Amino acid sequence: MDCLFCKIINREVPAEIIYEDESIICFLDINPSNPGHALVVPKVHCENLLDASGETLRSLISIVPKISRAIMSGLNYDAFNFSVNNGAAAGQIISHLHFHIVPRREGDGHKLFGGKPYEPGEIEQVAEKIKAAF
């Protein structure tokens, strides 16, 4: 397998690891949005959120508060964004599930979402299509 994150997990590629347990590894992003931007990664290879087991997802999400608190406290941040890019169109570059913890300060210059309102009647149509897919 030619997965960069699996190579980090197996210590074939160096990374600045800030947390690790039996199922999770967390290391600093080498192209951070802010210093302390970290990636929380399952040790078991799964391509994305839809490929992960419930057990893997529970392990990932349960450790996020502990890691986030350490980043915020250690680096004096006020808040953080928590996100996942699921698939290439959503910005996923490495095909191994990972969550981003991006520490934030007021006025750091990072923008979040550039949303726009629905056209009249559009929100109902979108909702019905989603409900029908269940």
Residue 120 lies in a domain: no
β-sheet with 24-28: strand ranges across? 17-20, 24-28, 38-42, 99-104, 79-83
Residue 32 lies in a domain: yes
pLDDT score recorded for residue 57 = 97
Please give the DSSP secondary-structure letter assigned to residue 78: S
Residue 134 lies in a domain: no
Residue 72 lies in a domain: yes
Structural domains of the chain, count:
1
Residue 119 lies in a domain: no
pLDDT in tens, 8-33: 999 999 999 999 999 999 999 999 99
When pLDDT is averaged across residues 104-113 and rounded to a whole number, the result is 85
Residue 74 lies in a domain: yes
User: What pTM was estimated for this model as a whole?
Assistant: 0.89
CATH number of the domain residue 20 falls in: 3.30.428.10
pLDDT score recorded for residue 120 = 92
State the pLDDT confidence band at 110, using cuts at 50, 70 and 90: confident
Residues identified as active-site: 98
State the pLDDT confidence band at 109, using cuts at 50, 70 and 90: confident
- Please say whether the beta carbons of 37 and 100 come within 8 A: yes
Q: Which range marks the domain in which residue 52 is found?
A: 4-107
pLDDT score recorded for residue 116 = 85
- Please say whether the beta carbons of 1 and 11 come within 8 A: no
Q: Which residues of 56-76 are buried (b: 16+ CB within 10 A; e: fewer)?
A: beebbeebbeebbebbbeeee
Residue 73 lies in a domain: yes
Poorest-confidence range of 47-56, 58-67, 107-116? 107-116
Query: What is the rounded distance in angstroms from the CA atom of residue 35 to the CA atom of residue 24?
Result: 21
pLDDT in tens, 67-103: 999 999 999 999 999 999 999 999 999 999 999 999 9
Query: What is the rounded distance in angstroms from the CA atom of residue 6 to the CA atom of residue 30?
Result: 16
Residue 125 lies in a domain: no
CA angle 59, 23, 32 (to 5 degrees): 80
